[in-house]
Structure 1
Amino acid sequence: MPKPIVGLHHVTAIASDPQRNLDFYTEVLGLRFVKRTVNFDDPGTYHFYFGDDAGTPGTILTFFPWPQSARGVSGAGEVAQTAFRVPSNSLGYWRRRLLERGLPVKESGRRFEEEVLSFADPEGMKLEIVAYGEATAANPSRFASVPQEHAIRGFSGVTLLEHDGENTGNLLNVLGFHKIAEEGNRLRFAADGDAPGNQIDLILDPNAAYGRTGAGSVHHIAFRAPDNAAQLEWREEIGKYLDVTPVMDRTYFQSIYFREPGGVLFELATDPPGFALDEPLESLGEELRIPEWLEPRRAWVEQRLAKLELHKASSAV
Structure 2
Amino acid sequence: MDLKPLKGQHHVSAITADAKRNYEFYTKTLGLRLVKKTVNQDDTSVYHLFYADERGNPGTDLTFFEIPRAGHTYEGSNSISATSLRVPKDASLQYWKERFETLGVEHDEITHETGRATLSFTDFEGQRLVLVSDEHNVGVDGGNPWDQSPIPKEHAIYGLGPVLLTVSQKELTSKILTDILGYREKRTFAAYGSEVTVYETGEGGTGAEIHLLERSDLPRERPGRGSVHHVAFRVESQEELNKWVAYLKEKRIPSSGFVERYYFKSLYFREPNGILFELATDGPGFEGDEPFEHLGESLALPPYFEDQRDSIEAKLKPLETK
Q: TM-score range by the shorter chain?
A: over 0.9
| Count of residue pairs brought into register by the alignment | 311
188, 192, 203: which is aligned to 2:202? 192
Provide the secondary structure at the position in 2 that maps to 1:75: coil
Residue deviations 1:31-72 (CA, integer Å, cap 9, x gap) = 100000011111112110010001011000110011132122
Residues 15 and 69 of structure 1 are in contact (CA less than 8 Å); yes or no, is this contact kept in structure 2?
Answer: yes
Q: How far apart are residue 176 of structure 1 and its match?
A: 2.3
**Separation (CA, whole Å) in 2 of partners of 1:38 and 1:137:** 26
Match of 1:265 in 2: 276
> Mapping of 1:1-317 within 5 angstroms?
1-87=2-88, 88-107=90-109, 109-134=111-136, 136=141, 139-173=144-178, 174-184=180-190, 185-194=195-204, 197-239=207-249, 240-310=251-321
Contact 1:59 1:196 in 2 (8 A): no
SS at match of 2:234: strand
Separation (CA, whole Å) in 2 of partners of 1:133 and 1:241: 41
RMSD, matched Cα: 1.5
AA aligned to 2:201 is: A
CA contact 2:73–2:222 (8 Å) conserved in 1: yes
Counterpart of 2:52, as a letter, is: G
Return 5+ residue gaps in structure 2 as ranges: none
Deviations 1:219-256 (A, max 9, x none): 01001110011111122223305111121111101111
What are the Cα deviations for residues 178-231 of structure 1, in whole angstroms up to 9, with x where unaligned? 111112421111113146630100111111110112111000100111001111
State the alpha-carbon separation in 1 of the partners of residues 142 and 302 from structure 2.
Answer: 32
Note if contact 1:138-1:151 (Cα within 8 Å) is conserved in structure 2.
no
After TM superposition, the score normalised by the length of structure 1 is 0.94
Contact 2:142–2:159 at 8 Å: present in 1 too? no
Distance 2:155 2:143 in 1: 8
The SS at the match of 1:221 is: strand
Q: SS where residue 114 of structure 1 aligns?
A: coil
Do the aligned residues in 2 keep the contact of 1:138 with 1:149 (CA within 8 Å)? no
Describe the shift of the 1:20–1:175 C-alpha distance in structure 2 as closer, same or farther (beyond 3 A): same
Q: Distance in 2 between matches of 1:20 and 1:237?
A: 41
Determine helix, strand or coil for the equivalent of 1:207: coil
Q: Is the 8 A contact 1:259 1:265 kept in 2?
A: yes
Q: Deviations over 1:62-89 (max 9, x none)?
A: 1001113212222111101000111222
In structure 1, what is the Cα distance between the partners aligned to 2:39 and 2:121?
28
Instruction: Tell me, yes or no, if the aligned pair for 2:47 and 2:65 is still in contact at 8 Å.
Output: yes
Q: What one-letter code is carried by the residue in structure 2 that aligns with 1:207?
A: D
Letter aligned with residue 288 of structure 1: L
Identity of aligned residues (%): 39
**Matched letter for residue 14 of structure 1:** I
| Amino acid paired to 1:156 | G
SS at 1:141's partner residue?
Answer: coil
- Alignment partners' CA distance in 2, 1:207 and 1:117: 26
Structure 1 runs (4+) deviating above 6 angstroms are none
C-alpha change, 1:54 and 1:4, in structure 2 (3 Å) is same
The TM-score with structure 2 as length reference comes to 0.93
Contact residue 112 and residue 181 of structure 1 kept, 8 A: no
Q: Is the deviation greater in 220-229 or in 178-187?
A: 178-187
Counterpart-to-counterpart distance in 1, 2:212 and 2:136 = 24
Q: Is the contact between residue 23 and residue 310 of structure 1 (CA under 8 Å) also seen in structure 2?
A: no
Q: Which amino acid aligns with 2:242?
A: L
Deviations 1:76-119 (A, max 9, x none): 11101000111222111111111111012102521232111111
Gaps of 5+ in 1: 312-317
Moved more, 51-60 or 177-186: 177-186
Shift of 1:267: 0.4
Q: Distance in 2 between the 1:111 and 1:281 partners?
A: 39
Distance across 2 between alignment mates of 1:140 and 1:106: 25
Whether the aligned pair in 2 keeps the contact of 1:58 and 1:196 (CA below 8 Å) is no
Cα distance in 1 between the residues matched to 2:270 and 2:289: 31
Counterparts in 2 of 1:161 and 1:192: CA distance versus 1, 3 Å: same
